[in-house]
Amino acid sequence: MDDTTREFLDSLLQTSTPSGFEAPGQREWVDYVSEFADEVRTDEYGNAVAIVEGGEPTVAVTGHCDEIGFMVRDINDDGSLSLTRIGGSDKTVSQGQHVVVHTDDGTVPGVIGQTAIHLRDRDEDSYSKIREQHVDIGVDEADAAASLVEVGDPITFDQTVSELEDGRITARGLDNRIGIWAAAEALRRAAERDPEATVCAVSTVQEEVGLKGAQMVGFDLAPDVAIATDVTHATDGPGVPGDRDTGIELGDGPVVARGSTNHPNVVAAVREVADDADLDYQLQAAGSRTGTDADAFYVSQGGIPSLNVGVPNRYMHTPVEMLDLDDLDAAAELLGQFAARAAEFDYAVEF
């Protein structure tokens, strides 16, 4: 990963994009892909599509730009802010965290309060529900808080990208700004190979609240093939229950899902490309669903051959998600090479 692509990754990770409030991150993404795409367009909800023109088929490489977070549910008499979730926010990691409230006039810092251990009943050390937690922005009355924030303002953890050992990074919201990074990079790398197919990179909105953006794009763009790139659970870290171990490890390459959503011909084509390019990859069983935008793409129109390619991720939906940069770069390379060769393959199931 060179300096330019790493700078792009960091800019995505440092830009807050909670579901329903993705515009700042989408601007970053559009600016980047505009340097090499033939066309870039957005829709009314902020989904973004970058296109490198070619012939048939049309292949879409996608990720979702939104992240989980919180929202101001109410302003209390004491100036604290009550919370509601945006997506699958985890009540066990939220208290005692620095946060940012994103208002129309800028950002307001705060903390999600946690009663000191000295003052808590030791026999009742349980996790409060999100709606029972509060943000303290430093004021003592409702009017003062209301002059700064409004009900419905989104909230995200105030977290930076940290470098760990052996090429690994940790940050909030790797799920799934890394997917839109990979989609953009796949488009750039495919464009350098002068693809016969038309290649689209897609950055969708509102995946974390029900795959909404992918439903919109799948209907509107109607590609012949769609590959959704998202994080998937690496189960090689400490504390993972044994019955949840999938064998997916950080550093062993991107993950190709099989079953249900994942069209067998697309699976076979991507594996062939990986083998030809000597790119390591892992396999994952997805017997019912993938839980990603691929689940929305494959039932769009009359059925779009789709696949989920995952990037191994530890500690998903926490402020300290972790991945290996080599896995991410390999995912972009695999998707770029597949997109460049997409015209070579047949995606219709034969009987």
- pLDDT at residue 125 is higher than 70: no
Active-site residue, from 67, 207, 321, 333: 207
Residues 6+ apart with CB under 8 A from 164: 170, 322
Q: Which fold has domain 69-157?
A: Elongation Factor Tu (Ef-tu); domain 3 (2.40.30)
Average pLDDT estimate for 195-215: 98
Residue 102 is assigned to a ligand binding site: no
Instruction: Give me the phi and psi of 3, to 5 degrees please.
Output: -65, -40
Predicted local confidence at residue 124, as pLDDT = 65
123 pLDDT exceeds 80? no
207 assigned to active site: yes
pLDDT tens digits, 303-313 = 999 999 999 99
pLDDT for 350 equals 83
In this prediction, residue 119 carries a pLDDT of: 83
Check residue 349 and give its pLDDT.
85
The C-alpha atoms of residue 196 and residue 43 are separated, in whole angstroms, by 26
pLDDT, residue 189, reads 98
Is 98 annotated as contributing to ligand binding?
no
Whether the predicted pLDDT of 109 surpasses 70? yes
Contacts of 345 (CB under 8 A, 6+ apart): 265, 266, 269
| 344 in a known ligand binding site | no
pTM for the whole thing? 0.96
136 is in an annotated binding site: no
Residue 114, φ and ψ in degrees, nearest 5:
-135, 120
Q: Do 3-67+172-344 and 69-157 show the same overall fold? A: no
Sheet holding 321-324, edge to edge: 162-163, 168-171, 321-324
Please measure the distance between the N-terminal and C-terminal CA atoms of the chain and give it in whole angstroms.
43
In this predicted model, which residue has the larger pLDDT, 259 or 242? Answer: 259
CATH fourth-level superfamily of 3-67+172-344: Zn peptidases (3.40.630.10)
Q: Where are the domains of the chain?
A: 3-67+172-344, 69-157
Residue-level pLDDT at 41: 98
Averaged pLDDT, 30-59: 98
- Looking at per-residue pLDDT, the higher value among 118 and 18 belongs to 18
Residue 242 has what pLDDT? 82
Q: Evaluate whether 30 touches 15 at the Cβ level (below 8 Å).
A: no
Q: Convert the pLDDT of each residue in 285-305 to its tens digit.
A: 999 999 999 999 999 999 999
Pick from 67-81, 119-133, 212-226: least confident = 119-133
| Mean pLDDT, residues 270-290 taken together | 97
- Could you give the CA distance from residue 337 to residue 273 in angstroms, rounded to a whole number? 7
**What does the pLDDT read at residue 237?**
87
Measured distance CA(106)–CA(86) in Å, rounded: 19
Q: Is residue 158 marked as binding?
A: no
- The set of residues, in sequence order, having a beta carbon less than 8 Å from that of 305 and lying 6+ positions away, is 224, 225, 226, 263, 265, 266, 298, 347
CB 214 within 8 Å of CB 64: yes
CB 275 within 8 A of CB 308: no
